[in-house]
Amino acid sequence: MVSMKDIARECGVSVAAVSKALSGQPDISEVTREKIKKAASTMGYQPNSAAKVLRTHRSNNIGVLFVDEAHNGLTNEFFALLLDRFKHVADSKGYDITFINRGISSGSMGNMNYLAHARYRAFDGVLIACMDFHNPEVIELAQSNIPLVTIDYSFEDRMSVESDNVSGIRDLVLYCAKMGHRKIAYIHDDNDSAVTRDRVGSFKDTMESLGLSVPDSYLPVAEYRKTEGSRKATEKLLALKDRPTCILYPDDFSALGGIAAIKEAGLEIPKDISIVGYDGIRVGRHLTPSLTTLRQPTELIGETAAQKLISLIENPAETRIEKVVVKGRIYEGGSVARI
């Protein structure tokens, strides 16, 4: 590998001169600079990030953490789309993206935790987009001094980009009510997250404001993004004496589970029962009928997260810590009947 040393020898200058010439420093004459640049190009010089990182403590590398339980990390369309846009913005600003994980071993010291991994690779910043924000390692990372942005969760004094779950659920409930539904159920996860609190809270509040009652049986529990759980929850709802006319699902995958249960019960959507998803993933648009859902501005979330994080990295002083909240919009499919 050609290094600055080689170029320096070739051009009869010092290594420092080469470094300055190539990095655009002012105190190098144009003649020398051109000579050096030409030699670098001819000799096939490639900079070495390791040396640069070692010296400058800047890696131009962003760590991305997402918890991969059940492998629906990357294959989770919401996350994939988000990461895709995040990556795009990061790329354009000269940052690479590396996944943070636990596999890297630190010699005899066992495997590294997330923070150790982030320090090991000298990430300039970190994106956390996962559900398990109560994981002690995630908390440790969030409390470190590394610039970071979280998605759909907010740590104190740290940047976050969140979708507006309160308005999302409210809009959906209002839409269903407008379509004539009075008996509306909402399936949700019982984890202790802001997402759940906001959504369930918003659901209850909106229903109350409409003067509609919500029996406990209308709030069954099922794990997010799992078809199996929501299928069972749906079965329970369908078995109720006074069953709902409309079921809200916490995400489109859960809705798929619900659809299966509804079909099995011999019912038809939306004639016999109406359903609503959340997230607006691609699959929903191709169902028959297509799924009415709250389309999250996922691309915007990804781009915003990248911009905020990079701003935090490059201008820590001028960057105000904020909790960015983005609103979604209803995608009106055909899964809600007017009654």
Partner DNA sequence: TAATTTTACTTAATGGATTAAGTTGTTGTG
Partner DNA sequence: CACAACAACTTAATCCATTAAGTAAAATTA
Half-sphere CA count of 90, side-chain side, radius 13 A: 27
Q: Cα 16 vs. chain centroid, distance in angstroms? A: 42
Classify residue 163 by its DSSP letter. Answer: E
- Which residue lies nearer to DNA by CB, 17 or 115? 17
Rule CB under 8 A: which of 103-142 touch a copy of itself? Answer: 103-109, 116, 119-122
- Which residue lies nearer to DNA by CB, 75 or 111? 111
Please pick, from the candidates 11, 61, 128, 195, the single residue that binds a copy of itself as defined by CB under 8 A: 61
d(CA 231, CA 277): 14
Residue 55 is a binding residue for DNA (CB under 7 A): yes
Rule CB under 7 A: which of 123-142 touch DNA? Answer: none
d(CA 249, CA 2): 58
Residue 232 is a binding residue for DNA (CB under 7 A): no
Quickly list DSSP for 55-77. HHS---EEEEE---GGG-STT-H
Q: Which residues have a Cβ under 8 Å from the Cβ of 125 and sit 6 or more positions away?
A: 62, 63, 146, 147, 148, 149, 309, 310, 312, 313
Half-sphere CA count of 272, side-chain side, radius 13 A: 12
- Which residue lies nearer to a copy of itself by CB, 93 or 197? 93
- Which residue lies nearer to DNA by CB, 47 or 215? 47
CB of 24 to a copy of itself, least distance (A): 5
The 10 Å Cβ neighbour count of residue 205 is 14
Contact residues toward a copy of itself (CB under 8 A) are: 1, 22-24, 37, 40-41, 45-51, 53-54, 59-61, 68, 71, 73-75, 77, 80-81, 83-85, 87-88, 90-99, 101-109, 116, 119-122, 256, 259-260, 263, 282-283, 286-288
Contact residues toward DNA (CB under 7 A) are: 1, 3-5, 12-20, 22-23, 27-29, 31-32, 45-48, 51-52, 54-56, 107
